[in-house]
Amino acid sequence: MGLSWQQGPLSAGAIGRFLLPDPLPKRLLYAEPLRRRMRVHFGGQWIADSENVVLLFEPARYPVAYFPQTDIAAGVLERLEHTTRHQDLGATGWFAVRAGEHVAQRGAWQHTDLPAHANELKDRIAFAWRAMDAFYEEDERIVGHAADPYHRIDIRQTSRRLVVRHRDRVIAETTRPLALYESGFAPRWYVPRTDVDAAALTPVEHRTFCPYKGICHYYDIDDARLAAWSYPETYPEVSRVANFVSFEPDIVAVHLDDRPLHLEPGQTVIPHGVDRELTVHEAQDRNRP
């Protein structure tokens, strides 16, 4: 998603290319100021609070937030003997994170021998996302991973005809689908419930989590497993697709204006589990510490 994930420009599966005469290195790292206030909550305390966070983008990784040491509460970090080596950024030292009785071993790290071209990360600390209790931008909780400022979702109403079939059965037919355009993904088409044969959908227990849309519910269609999905509740930014249904075109037949749709190469989603084992309610409640 965004710069470094799925088909973004810094990912291995990029769909575009830089218009340069010589090939770029296979791995490109990119760092930039977040320009948002970001806070870390752990053990009932705010342990980091900064308006000077730097995001690091690496191929095939979600962005990682690096905090200035001066914006981290005193006594929180306990340096460990454990060290590793980053393939691009050199030696990496690790910390236990301590707040009262709460301790996260290897809960934070710092690149200690940076090459000169990576000095944006000098004297900065990154916290292991799942080891902390919560991350916030201002007073709103950020779940899944640090928000990628280059990740965008646009939703457009269309009158194009969308038909979904499984074998000889019409599962959905509409001339009012919503097209959802998401960074790094081909368009996804969402159908109003009233234009779907509800009897064809068998709810399953499977859930995934999208940091930008919410908790995703899935459906089987006869023997076609996980052929459809829906977000019964969404974050406000994408509420237009709430409770609409979308269909996987490589599992059931999806035609848009009589043209068959297929999943594009590189579009397979690596699903999130719900962040830090949060309940569905907790993951959707982004406004409490």
Better pLDDT: 281 or 29: 29
Work out the angle at residue 128's Cα, subtended by the Cα atoms of residues 82 and 62, and round it to the nearest 5 degrees.
120
Position with higher pLDDT, 47 vs 5: 47
pLDDT tens, 24-66? Answer: 888 999 999 999 999 999 999 999 999 999 999 999 888 999 9
H helices present in 91-234, as ranges: none
Spatial strand order in the sheet of 259-260: 169-174, 162-166, 253-256, 259-260
Among 40-54, 81-95, 171-185, 263-277, the minimum mean pLDDT is found in 263-277
The residues that bridge with 48 in the sheet, in sequence order, are 40, 72
What are the chain's domains?
Answer: 30-142 (2.170.150.40), 153-284 (2.170.150.40)
**pLDDT at residue 281, rounded to an integer:** 59
DSSP code of residue 148 = -
Note the pLDDT of residue 65: 97
| Single pTM value for the model | 0.85
Share of the chain above pLDDT 90, in %: 73
Q: Which residue has the higher pLDDT, 85 or 280?
A: 85
Residues 6+ away with beta carbon under 8 Å from 219: 201, 202, 203, 204, 226, 227, 228, 229, 230, 245
In this prediction, residue 14 has a pLDDT band, given cuts at 50, 70 and 90, of confident
Q: Is 154 exposed, middle or buried (0-12, 13-18, 19+ CB in 10 A)?
A: exposed
Q: What is the pLDDT of residue 289?
A: 63
Instruction: Work out the mean pLDDT of the chain and round it to a whole number.
Output: 91
- Say whether pLDDT at 271 is over 80: no
The pair phi, psi for residue 280, each rounded to 5°, is: -55, -45
Burial (CB count <10 Å: 0-12, 13-18, 19+), residue 63: buried
Average pLDDT over every residue of 84-96: 97
pLDDT tens, position by position, 170-206: 999 999 999 999 987 889 999 999 999 999 999 999 8
Q: How would you label 17-35 residue by residue, b for 16+ Cβ within 10 Å and e otherwise?
A: eeeeeeeeeeebbbbeebe
Is residue 279 predicted with pLDDT exceeding 80? no
pLDDT at position 71: 98
186 or 251: which carries more pLDDT confidence?
A: 251
Question: Which of 5-14, 144-153, 251-260 bottoms out in mean pLDDT, i.e. has the lowest?
Answer: 5-14
